[in-house]
Each structure stands twice: as structure tokens, then as C-alpha cells.
Amino acid sequence: MTDIPVQRAHVGVIVPAVNRTCEEQFHRHAPAALGVHTMRARIAGKWAKPITELEPEIVMTSQMLAECQPDLMVYNCTASSMREGPDGEKRILGIMEKATGIPSISTSAAVGDAFRTFGIKSVVIITPYPNNDEIEFYLNKIGVKAVGSVALALPTSRYGAVTPQEWADLALKHDSKDADAIFFSCAATTQIDAVAPTEAALGKPVINSNQSVLWASIKRLKDKLGDIEIPQTGSLMKTLQ
């Protein structure tokens, strides 16, 4: 009989309803001791709205997810958490924590923390979005300059269809000598599996939305998790060793 891993810590992740990829990635890459529990919300794609209008959805989804008693909550949507800048991100987390009493982080906060860990001040942004204006707005507010920007303008139903190799090829094609790192932005893509090969090819850090969320969750829950196998998703994870 196969032993069932003991989950010593739990994270609850709010996922945009349009996202087809992040649950599989979290369950594949997360250490066995980390339980990952998701709840879908109408917060992206055709449901994208100002935070004030999203508040009822965020409250309801957070409270339902909190019933599984996670140690940490995550608002996992890059564009939505960056759209109104750091102040908007703080409002989202305030809504979640008020509704649940559970510490919360966002994708944007995790990405910003990853940039600070490496001292990243300039990036090439690569996304499936219609444009990268909201991403550049947020990064500018936290002191990170976009020295290159690629937006594929895909319909949301096609975000997960771009392969890791295609993401890596885009990074190699559009890299800049002025960029400290590559930022693969979007939680609804296969980008996490392009991180390590892109770093190997370019010799610089590569940061991705789901990678950052998983890293930030492990970082915050490390005391509860104890001795774990660190995910092999690039140099960011190696900072946990």
C-alpha cells in the first residue's frame, strides 16, 4: 500500500474562473507536505472589474475557502492584483483578511518579493495579455522598469495553449542586455515549466506568477512544513535552501 504524505501546512488559493493550469502546476510542483486547496472566482477575463465591484465576490470566495482552515490564503491573479497598483493590492488583501482572519498574500506581492530577493530593477515582461499596461504600471510603482514588453493578445481560452518551449523561445528572442530578469506574467499559462530552461539559456533570473506564489507560500509556511524537497522551478526556489 502506498503511503499517503502527511500534509503539515495548508494554503488556500483563489483562482480566476478562467484559469485551467495553476491547480495542476501547484499539485505537481508543491512539496508533499503542503496541502494546496483552490476556489474559483469571477475576477478575470470578462469578469475583470474595479476592486470595489469585485469585493462581494472576493468576500464570498474567501469565506468559503477559509472553511478548510488554511494557514495562508492567496489571491492568485497577476493582472487583477496589479491593476490598481500596490494600493489596490493592499485593498484586496485587506478584504480577504477581514473576511477570514487568515493571513493573505497576492500574486503581485509574491512577484514583488521575488524581485527584491534578487535585487531586480529592470525586466522584460512576456505575457498572453492584450497589452501589458497594467503590469508596467504596477512594476513602476515598486521601482521595477520594463525594458522590454511582449503581449501576445490571446483570448483567455488560449492562455494555456502556449507551450513552455514557446515561452522560452519568446524570452530568448526578446531578452535585453538591460534586463536584470525575465518576467513571465500570468497564472493561467504553462510558463512555470519554462523558467528553468530559460534561466539556463540566458544566465539570469526568470520570475513567473505561479512560481512566485508557490515560493512565497513555502517561505511563509516553512516552519510548519519542516524538512521538504524544494521544487525545481528555477533559481528563486533555491533561495529557500
Closest C-alpha among 29, 35, 209, 201 to residue 112: 209
The dihedral sign for the CA sequence 212, 217, 222, 226: negative
pLDDT averaged over every residue in the chain: 96
CB 164 within 8 A of CB 196: no
Query: Are domains 9-108+210-230 and 110-209 of this chain identical in fold?
Result: yes
Output the pTM of the full model: 0.95
9-108+210-230 to CATH, choices 3.40.50.12500, 3.40.50.2000, 3.30.1390.10, 3.40.50.450: 3.40.50.12500
The domain spans of the chain are 9-108+210-230, 110-209
- The whole-angstrom distance between residue 156's C-alpha and the CA centroid of its chain comes to 17
Sheet with strand 206-208: strands edge to edge = 145-151, 122-127, 181-184, 206-208
CATH number at 110-209? 3.40.50.12500
Q: How many angstroms separate the CA atoms of 195 and 129, rounded?
A: 19
- Provide the pLDDT for residue 98: 98
pLDDT tens string for the chain (241 positions)? Answer: 567 778 999 999 999 999 999 999 999 999 999 999 999 999 998 899 999 999 999 999 999 999 999 999 999 999 999 999 999 999 999 999 999 999 999 999 999 999 999 999 999 999 999 999 999 999 999 999 999 999 999 999 999 999 999 999 999 999 999 999 999 999 999 999 999 999 999 999 999 999 999 999 999 999 999 999 999 999 999 999 8
- Provide the pLDDT for residue 45: 85
- Provide the pLDDT for residue 208: 98
